[in-house]
Amino acid sequence: MVIVMGPDATQDDVAAIVKVIGEAGGEAFVSRGVSRTIIGLVGDVAQFGTLDLGGMRGVADVMRVTAPYKLVSRDNHPERSTIRVGGVPIGPGTVTLIAGPCAVETPRQTLEAAEMAKAAGATLLRGGAYKPRTSPYAFQGLGEAGLRILADVRERTGLPVVTEVVDAHDVELVASYADMLQIGTRNAQNFALLQAVGGIGKPVMLKRGMNATIEEWLMAAEYIAQRGNLDIVLCERGIRTFETATRNTLDVSAVPVAQRLSHLPVIVDPSHSGGHRNLVLPLSRAAVAAGADGVIVDVHPRPEQALCDGPQALVEDDLHELAEVMRVFPPLLGKTATGGVPASV
């Protein structure tokens, strides 16, 4: 059982609940987040059934959820959530295009990529300043200098920024620049990092671990939610299978399955799953057709010079087609693309 406290709940309200639970023979775990306090109860639910916890002062919600993930489960929250990132909605009813370079390399490259993204209908800019690379010899990202470039490009283009954080120690710094923090596939079960982003007041995009089941992915999201941050966007980015023809195997089924199990929005990264630009458009169509709430793609003005993931970056010509996908597909599903797509593209 999980108790969600309202924003005005006091320390005394929380203490009163902990006391009542203790008296009933249960154990309460209190997690104080920036925006709300969550109390988890361990023990037999029937044991607490007679307590009027919902009637106690400061309580916003009492969830008797049987799924192992409680706060992100749809059991107690049947309507699907919309998460706002710098004012841009991600959720049912819309398809949000997020685009930008895999890595922030230079101010010019980032600005050019952002302008390409915007022209294709993107309403959010992606770009990594901290890159979790397989090889320690590969470009690791510009760090804070990269975050400053992203903030400057946001200023110039008006596009809110999504960027990855790889270390719990950097969460506050990255959050001071970003509009949404990204947790990458390699850190998808780094529980200390998940708890750290759970403690900030900014949305989090949680990629699925490349070897995580959907349940493990939702449990990872629960780590963030349990710290009081429910502004989470799930991102399917392909899983490890026996297939070697693609970088990873996009699990299209994960979109409807995760949406049925969780109220959180689910988006798809066709760039990191396919690993090649030729696959990005077909996989984007598949993602939107399957009901994804958004798509996040890599773009680069000069992919042959890219310091990271050049082969999968879309170029100018591909963006016309991507814009077409965003124009044609969402209305077929009764949705709109956020921001719409300029007629000139």
| Residue 32 binding: pick among ligand PEP, Mn ion, none (C-beta 5-8 Å cut-off by kind) | none
Residue 314 in contact with residue 296, Cβ under 8 Å? no
Convert residues 99-118 into a mask of x (bound to ligand PEP by CB under 6 A) and - (unbound).
Answer: ---x----------------
Does residue number 269 form part of the binding site for Mn ion (CB under 5 A)? Answer: no
User: Nearest-CB residue to ligand PEP?
Assistant: 184
93: left (phi over 0), alpha (psi -120 to 50) or beta: left
Buried/exposed 292-330: b ≥16 CB within 10 Å, e otherwise = bbbbbbbbbbebeebbbbbebbbeeebbebbbbbbbebb
Judged by beta carbon, residue 102 or residue 119, the one nearer Mn ion is 102
Does residue number 102 form part of the binding site for Mn ion (CB under 5 A)? Answer: yes
Residue 219 in contact with residue 69, Cβ under 8 Å? yes
Tokens linked to 277: 């630009």
Judged by beta carbon, residue 237 or residue 263, the one nearer ligand PEP is 237
Question: How many chain residues interact with Mn ion (CB under 5 A)?
Answer: 2
207, 277, 285, 300: which one binds ligand PEP (CB under 6 A): 207
| Residue 237 binding: pick among Mn ion, ligand PEP, none (C-beta 5-8 Å cut-off by kind) | ligand PEP
Minimum distance of ligand PEP from residue 6's CB (angstroms): 35
| Residue 112 binding: pick among ligand PEP, Mn ion, none (C-beta 5-8 Å cut-off by kind) | none
Residues 114-173 that bind ligand PEP (CB under 6 A): 128, 132, 164
Residues 50-109 that bind ligand PEP (CB under 6 A): 102
Binding site residues, ligand PEP, CB under 6 A? 102, 128, 132, 164, 184-186, 207, 237, 269, 272
Binding site residues, Mn ion, CB under 5 A? 102, 309
